[in-house]
Amino acid sequence: MPPVLSTTTDISALKHLTAIRLDVNIWSARKKLTPADFGTMELPPEKLASLGSKKVCNPEDLRIFATLKGRAIALLDRHGVRFLGGWAIPESSTQAVIDALEAIVADFTTAKQAFLDRYDEAIRQWVSNNPGWEPLIAGSLVSVDTVRARLGFAWQMFKIALPRSKGCKTDAARPLVDAVKGLGQTLFDEVARVADEAWHKTFAGKLEVSCKAISPLRGLRLKLAGLSFVEPRVASVVDLLDAALDQVPDRGPIAGANLVMLQGLVCLLRDPAAVVEHGQKIIDGQAPEAALRSLVAVMPDTPAPMPLRDDDSSDADDAAPFADQAGEPAASHLDSLGLW
């Protein structure tokens, strides 16, 4: 059994990364239940059961804020990798991320003002929709100014560097160095989560999928291309994705050999260790198209696949869909930024 390849990101990668964190506050519209809310009703002792919370406003009125927060998280996940409680994004993506975040901030601000403008009416509707419980709700209401202070969307973007103070012990830099070393593994783990979701949602057991099925793969390609300097084998995985996406039609259903190829690729991406192994093979000289052919096998939860044609087919129109038409492996066009 071949040894498992390790991934290590050099600390110099920090020069090409920008850190970003979200600071989003959403009013929960909940208050803690107290014994007084139940009047004379006998309640179990605290050692047996604890009281929960009560909703003082319709949760649907606040759904938009969670949606916008989710949109921001999805944006940063598409461009960056989780790092130090936030994200590390490539410098090349900073302006696109800033523009997208500013648009979300504007939507959040608009939704916030709209909610505050109808806050009193929203509370009245909630009370009327819960007849008999008016005292329970009324006793926990907060002012519109309190709600305003508890709804906010902000973000901060900054650079991270090693401590340079002369009086600083060398051990002070070790936690940051260790965190950076793990960026490559974190990146491959994030790819695996997206691929696993795509497998179960779209590819498992299918004999045909639409072109929309490859959207997660295109998203991963964008993410990995931007972060190709984080780990040497990332660029190889981008080459593998490019080779696969080049075989897929722009429209219409995907079936047969192309679908089997995509299923094999998604299965590979679900396994970070296997991704690193195949990435290393491409670095060592294996053509991405050959790597794709090696993935075509019976996969879990998948119908028996249609076998790919061999490269020696006599009919030129039926040549293997993964054959390298130029006879040479595709050259990696991603810059390592001098990190290896």
- Residue 42: strand, helix, or coil: coil
Q: How many whole angstroms separate alpha carbon 298 and alpha carbon 307?
A: 10
pLDDT band at 335 (very low <50, low <70, confident <90, very high): low
Question: What separation in angstroms does the CA of 164 have from each of 99, 169, 172, 175, 339?
Answer: 33, 10, 10, 15, 21
pLDDT band at 6 (very low <50, low <70, confident <90, very high): confident
Q: How many whole angstroms separate alpha carbon 46 and alpha carbon 240?
A: 58
Asked if residue 322 has pLDDT above 90, the reply is no
DSSP 19: E
Average pLDDT for the chain: 83
pLDDT higher for 176 or 168? 176
Beta bridge partners of 25: 152
Asked if residue 222 has pLDDT above 70, the reply is yes
User: Is the whole model's pTM more than 0.85, yes or no?
Assistant: no
pLDDT in tens, 110-128: 999 999 999 999 999 988 8
Question: What separation in angstroms does the CA of 250 have from each of 47, 214, 242?
Answer: 62, 10, 14
Are the C-beta atoms of 215 and 241 separated by less than 8 Å? no
pLDDT higher for 321 or 260? 260
* Helices 215-226 and 63-79, axial angle in degrees (round to 10): 60
Residue 315 confidence (pLDDT): 38
Percent of the chain at pLDDT exceeding 90: 59
Q: How many whole angstroms separate alpha carbon 140 and alpha carbon 32?
A: 9
For the ranges 84-88, 233-237, 296-300, which has the lowest average pLDDT? 296-300
Closest CA to 155 of 21, 32, 311: 21
pLDDT in tens, 77-102: 999 999 999 999 999 999 999 999 99
Mean pLDDT on 7-20? 91
Q: How many whole angstroms separate alpha carbon 320 and alpha carbon 310?
A: 6
pLDDT higher for 38 or 194? 194
Asked if residue 189 has pLDDT above 80, the reply is yes
Mean pLDDT on 256-267? 92
Beta bridge partners of 82: 87
Q: How many whole angstroms separate alpha carbon 34 and alpha carbon 31?
A: 9
Mean pLDDT on 17-46? 77
For the ranges 45-54, 93-102, 173-182, 307-316, which has the lowest average pLDDT? 307-316
Asked if residue 36 has pLDDT above 80, the reply is no
Whether the CA torsion 190, 191, 196, 201 is positive or negative: it is positive
Question: What separation in angstroms does the CA of 80 have from each of 8, 73, 273, 283, 287?
Answer: 17, 10, 20, 23, 27
Helix (H) or strand (E) holding 244: helix 232-245
pLDDT higher for 233 or 167? 233
Torsion angle of alpha carbons 244, 249, 251, 253, nearest 10°?
-80
Asked if residue 40 has pLDDT above 90, the reply is no
pLDDT higher for 302 or 130? 130
Q: Domains of the chain: which residue ranges? A: 11-33+53-158, 181-318
How wide is the angle at C-alpha 148 spanned by C-alphas 142 and 149, nearest 5°? 90
By CB atoms closer than 10 A (0-12, 13-18, 19+), residue 319 is middle
pLDDT higher for 188 or 43? 188
Residue 132 confidence (pLDDT): 82
Beta strands in the chain (DSSP E): 17-25, 30-32, 53-55, 81-83, 86-90, 152-158, 208-209, 254-255
Q: How many whole angstroms separate alpha carbon 340 and alpha carbon 324?
A: 27
